[in-house]
Structure 1
Amino acid sequence: MTDVKDESILKKAWDRFVRSEEVNGPWERTVDAAIFSSWQRSRAYGVDPWQIQGARCLSPEEIQHKKHAYRELIEISIPLMEQLYDLVKGSGFMVTLCDQNGILIKVIGDEQTLQHAQEIQFVEGADWSEQAMGTNAIGTCLYLDSPLQVFAAEHYSLACQWWTCSAAPIHRFTGERIGVLNMSGPSAKVHAHTLGMVVSAVWAIENQIRLIEKNRNDEMMQRYLEATVQALNDGVAIVDDALRILKVNALFLKIFGLSEADLQGVFLERVLQFQGDSHLLSGSRAITHKELKVFVPSSSREVRVFIDIQPIFGKHSEKMGSLVLFKEVKKVRQLVNHITDSRAKVTFSDIIGQTDVFVDCLTEAKLAARSDATVLLMGESGTGKDLFAQAIHHESLRRNKPFIAINCGAIPRDLLGSELFGYVEGAFTGARKGGSAGKFELADGGTLFLDEIGEMSLEMQVLLLRVLQSKEIIRIGGQEVLPVDVRMIAATNKDLHEEVLRGHFREDLFYRLHVIPIHLPALRERKQDIPLFVEHFIKQFSEQLGRNVHSMAPDALLHLMHAPWAGNVRELQNVLERAVLRANGGVLSLEHLPKDLLLKEQVEAYPRALNLPIKEEIKKDALIRSIRQCRGNFKEAAKYLGISRSTLYRQLDKYGLRAEGRGFE
């Protein structure tokens, strides 16, 4: 044994310290500085230096819970604790493992040594922190976070002074302290090398912990990678530099109709054949959103995809492989249509009208919805051709597919082709990288509504006719033929037959479109529907504009019935929106209508208006609406209309409406 401290000197120094109230004294020079500082802390903690056994110990249940929490550290440490114990076996030494708070969680030693340890409660579950036992190798090592040997009377508590203890803290790779390894034995057998043995064992434990944590982190990263790859909305293939498949996700298998068994150790180019660009994966540059056809030899399937390729490089910039992402084109189209809400929102029940001529149009449109035949909607601007197009689609078997609308008159003629048919990369100056799909592709499986088709140039009519005949398109600047399944609805405010005679519209295209012609009447041809529109728009705009308008005065309604309505329903809608915005009360009157809408002979009061030579059913309807507004009270109705009660009764008798107000409530 070497480097043995003088136990008697230490004992005297300890005795003087614990009996004296002085902080410093002659004993300070005979005690190691770290030990002396610990004595001072122990006194401040209120530790009893005369205690002959540990004061704190966990219950059996708490001990089991603690062991379970530290089971990994215990499992790693036991083999090294046993090796350490084998070196000192029979010498009275024991090996202990503690948690980061100084609680003993594993003890190894011979029976006699363990019995001595039990006498001072140096057992599993005991608390040997500085706060509990004062200066000791376990607790002080934790405080200093460094290896430490405490000999005999260097211990603050009398219970420990028969022992010499060597302890070292155990850390994770992150620096987090997770426990302490300690070796304790008779003070007479103290040796400086004991601490070195403990430090070496701790080093081995920490290396084992690092290895386990690295393996765990590697596994976790592998699982994260797996979860990420599977969670992507793309088909994923990870390949090495030789294009051998390393990993694919479930969506990749679904897109190409493959199984994992088909792919183990297989080269990607044997599974998928990239048409038109066989060297696509060989390069070292990233590729973004390239559209191409992929042939699957195992099933003889052809799949159209967007492909993204991200090369993977090593630390020396050598290419190690690639991450390849696949998006099925038809799925992308569906997603775009969903995001842009490319759906028909109008149904036949949303369309307003009860006149015979209009009901006939609805009947024709409902019949058209049952077939896939081309529909030609004709009528003046503002008659609701777009609403009919949406309703026909909504009632058809294509209702869950896209509804794509394009106004042929609103797009410059030289751009209409690329809008309809799409274009390939480089087709013209400013063409988007990767090209762009046209409306026909976006509408695939659904309905394409061509509004104002009469504005289409003759050159474009030729291309449209070809698509209607072949059900195929070729993108502008491209050569590849793409099949499309689209139901066509066209609309025009022109007389296309007259346009054909004038040479402005192709006759063959006209007959292709004229399979189911529907002529929508102008508003002046269905004036009996005006009260329905008035009621609908007043309610709509009152809600939108935060107004409390609920009706229109009969004289104002009659003036609307006589207006020419060159802009049809759209003009009426605009007039009513402006009127609701200007209204101060709950009833719209003449003052709320635009002056240029009213004819000179229509600005008289309502009593005179009743005598105008207008259709009798309109007069009758105005009376009924006014009396209903007054809940069947004729007196209030006469006042509301600005006429005498006798005049009201004469009008009621004329139309057979008197009957004591029956039917007006």
Structure 2
Amino acid sequence: MLKMKDILTPMHQCLSPDNTLLEAVELMKKLRIHTIPVTDATRRLVGVFTRSSLYSMVLQEKPLDTPIGPFMKREVETLPEDMSPDQLERNTEITKVGTGIVVNRNEQLIGVITQSHVVSSLLQTTRSLKEQLEEIIDTSKLGAIMTDEKRQIIFVNRKFCEMVGYKDSEILYKDLADVIPNFHLAEMEKTDHHRMKIGIYHAVANLSRYRTIKGDEGFIVLFQDISDVEKMAQELQTVLKWKSIVQTVINNVYDGLVMINESKAITFISPSLLELFELKEREVLHKSVDDILPELGLSKIIKTGISDISDMMEVKGIRYAVHRIPIYQRDEVIGAIGKIAFRGLDEMKELFRRFETSQTRNGQGESDKTKFAHFTFEQIMTSDKQMEKLIRSACKAAKGQSTILIRGESGTGKELFAHAIHSASSRKNGPFVTVNCAAIPEHLLESEFFGYEEGAFTGANRKGKIGKFDLANGGTLFLDEVGDMSFPLQAKLLRVLQGREFFRVGGTERIQVDVRIIAATHRPLEKMVQNGEFREDLYYRLNVFSFQIPPLRNRKSDILLLSESFILELNRLNGTAITGIDPDAQATMLDYEWPGNVRELRNVLERAMIFAEHGKIKREDLPDYMLLETENDSTDRSTGSSLMEKAEKSAIKEAMQKTGGNKTRAAQLLGISRSVLYEKLKKYEISVRL
């Protein structure tokens, strides 16, 4: 585009009204222009002295020393220095004045501009644009022709000449139909792209129209060699094919793969790794690996440039190791690859062996595991309000020395509570001894409790044996399933609880003990007392503090919470690599009644994790009896499904409002997993921003 400064002739010397005719003629001759600006002392324009002004003074035979002031033209149109190129072009087209006077914003003279300057600059610009356009077309490898309104070719580029096999001089100003006999305008107008043969080439032609200077219609035709396009398409298909192959190889050869560049930003991560660490690709790509997966230690490889393999690590109970590999370009590290193995590949066997050995070595200090409590209240996982209240009460009761009775269905975790109570008591450094009253034959229970002296009965150990009360001295004795104890043994136990002393079987020496009793049972002791099956006085002695653990079906919010913990534990024990539970399987587990409680839940998960083939537990991995029961229940409830959905939607909205849109807290409040909550939010179209 033309700019004023590019075609302006600066005026460093001009006339004043006091200059003479001679001075004006000399300056006009020197500058070779026919219009000379006349300014005052501040270079403000007051007029112009033109060639017609000169003729007028000569015809009037004015002396050469006559001032030009009276003969100059005072009404002069000026051009602003910031005039746009379009305005300048329009002004040049319509003006009859051969010279324009250019001034700044203060009306001070800057220079002059002539029509010949403008025309010359326009021609130069046009030639430059033409050359640039031809270069662009040639670079694009397109053949190009341009016709006038008579269909005569007025422009042709090198590529088209190559396609038809002629020189440009043999093509220019010839009729389009003579150069391209199979060029049919009617067919070209039917489609944007028309296939045709140009010389030995097969090409695609694209037709455009333009207006000539006379206002008629001319054509511009661009030709694309199809062989180039097909070659590019084939190359693209090859690239896409290789990408699919490489993607498949990456997803199946390695358990997990992550790649970073020299800036430590993640450029690739495999789906299996996203699943393992519960990440989403859009949250990971182009982010710093130190922010997303610092545990992999990949960034240090950028600094060292040395491959290494990590020690065994663990996530969600799944053991894994990272093989870190630098990526070199010439001698410079431009990135790193992390190969994550967590599905028991052969090269990991030695690491697993070392890990298991270290674990075994760490556990050798416990020579008799029955003498120590292994759990605390912090390890009891729950989100149920009733369970949380129960734990708080048990913590308070643990501080005293009174007997505690733990009640609940089989598998609810009564022994876990007993361990936790001991760990929270003042006896936590003393022994914790367990006796399962239902597992020991009745004729051996007394000797198990109190021990026996040498030769007390046939088959007895020659050195005698100390009993559970002796072992628990100074600590806690946990009587599991106390409701199954025989009536005679109940009387002996009552005497120990009252007098804190006993005699060994076959012995005569009175043994003093300091033992706290924690008992547990799933049986209805009150009914047994009424039926004469359990001593009433022993019942009241045991029932100082009584805690009823609710069954799992009454605290379904704990099902998925406990499942997460069991998956971690079972991954470690069985060497599996399960990352979670599919939403359909979660729904089935939440619908099931769990008669075996927490113990059944753990067993079901262990079975399902062995059967699972996809990294997550699917619904089909669950036992058939569970699937059958939940299907029957869903059939029975189908008539009320719409009401249930309304209630479910209302509950989710309320939970989201209470938690301020925090999905994790809302899921805990509802007793479901985050993935189930996401499915429900999508199903009911509930906005997160409430």
TM over 0.5: no
If the length of structure 2 is used for normalisation, what is the TM-score?
0.42
Which of these two proteins has the greater Rg computed from alpha carbons? 2
